[in-house]
């Protein structure tokens, strides 16, 4: 199989990655950036979990990190959003990637003026963001599973497939424009853990494809 051509050298897009856990999708982006497949300059990794494995991945790659947890007892959701935005602005980042970030960002962050905020969601989302069902690649229709437990919800609903989708963030949670998506067939014996384990490699592909689509739409990557 022919290798996918690397992105042409040129201006790199200053980028911050938000993570909450293991950071396998962060690693996929770091690897693709290092290989020249994505013209990104990863300026900062933001994590809301102090001992997350994702922080180790960032440090190993030489990327600055910031641990910013929501101080629920002393700050509002809006105040937390503004604190996050200020940290990202200080890094010079213009593109924000939410890769396993488990906190819904308040409108104060979404309105901070970044060039793009992209989110990876573990579900096969419809092209129409307003739709509440989706035609799956096998020809069946499924409810749309949004929220933090989309894979678990899909299994409990006994649907045939789940998937992964990279979208642009909007104030309506998990209802942004689809940039890339792929499906995963669910097995009869799947539980949430086994389905997620098989979904991770698909997520990595979706993330790279979706970021590339966003860059091309912005005129920041050559169209092959």
List of residues 6+ apart from 41 with CB closer than 8 A: 12, 13, 14, 15, 33
Q: Tell me the pTM.
A: 0.92
Going from N- to C-terminal start, the domains of the chain cover 13-128+164-184+200-217
Cα separation of 213 and 205, whole Å? 12
Q: What is the pLDDT of residue 201?
A: 96
List of residues 6+ apart from 163 with CB closer than 8 A: 122, 123, 124, 125, 181, 182, 183, 184, 199, 202
Q: What is the pLDDT of residue 6?
A: 42
Q: What is the pLDDT of residue 221?
A: 66
**Of 216, 153, 213, which Cα lies nearest the Cα of 177?**
213
User: Sign of the CA dihedral 166, 171, 174, 178?
Assistant: negative
Helices within the chain (DSSP H only): 24-34, 53-60, 77-91, 107-110, 150-156, 192-217
**Of 156, 128, 155, 161, which Cα lies nearest the Cα of 142?**
161
Q: What is the pLDDT of residue 122?
A: 96
User: May I ask the CATH architecture of the domain 13-128+164-184+200-217?
Assistant: 3-Layer(aba) Sandwich (3.40)
Show pLDDT as tens, one digit a residue, over the chain (224 residues). Answer: 333 334 445 589 999 999 999 999 999 999 999 999 999 999 999 999 999 999 999 999 999 999 999 999 899 999 999 999 999 999 999 999 999 999 999 999 999 999 999 999 999 999 999 999 999 888 889 999 998 899 999 999 999 999 999 999 999 999 999 999 999 999 999 999 999 999 999 999 999 999 999 999 998 864 44
């Amino acid at each position: 199989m022919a290798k996918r051509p690397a992105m042409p050298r040129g201006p790199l897009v200053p980028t911050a990655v938000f993570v909450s856990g293991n950071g396998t999708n962060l690693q996929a982006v770091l690897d693709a950036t290092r290989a020249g497949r994505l013209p990104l300059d990863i300026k900062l990794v933001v994590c809301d979990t102090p001992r997350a494995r994702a922080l180790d991945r960032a440090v190993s790659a030489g990327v600055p990190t910031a641990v910013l947890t929501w101080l629920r007892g002393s700050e509002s959701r809006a105040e937390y959003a503004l604190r996050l935005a200020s940290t990202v602005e200080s890094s010079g980042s213009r593109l924000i990637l939410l890769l396993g970030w488990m906190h819904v960002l308040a409108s104060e962050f979404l309105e901070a003026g970044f060039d793009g905020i992209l989110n990876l969601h573990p579900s096969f989302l419809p092209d129409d963001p307003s739709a509440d069902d989706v035609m799956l690649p096998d020809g069946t229709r499924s409810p749309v599973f949004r929220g933090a437990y989309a894979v678990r919800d899909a299994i409990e609903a006994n649907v045939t497939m789940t998937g992964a989708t990279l979208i642009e963030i909007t104030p309506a949670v998990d209802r942004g424009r689809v940039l890339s998506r792929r499906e995963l067939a669910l097995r009869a014996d799947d539980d949430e853990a086994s389905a997620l384990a098989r979904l991770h490699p698909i997520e990595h592909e979706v993330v790279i494809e979706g970021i590339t689509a966003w860059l091309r739409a912005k005129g920041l990557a050559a169209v092959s």
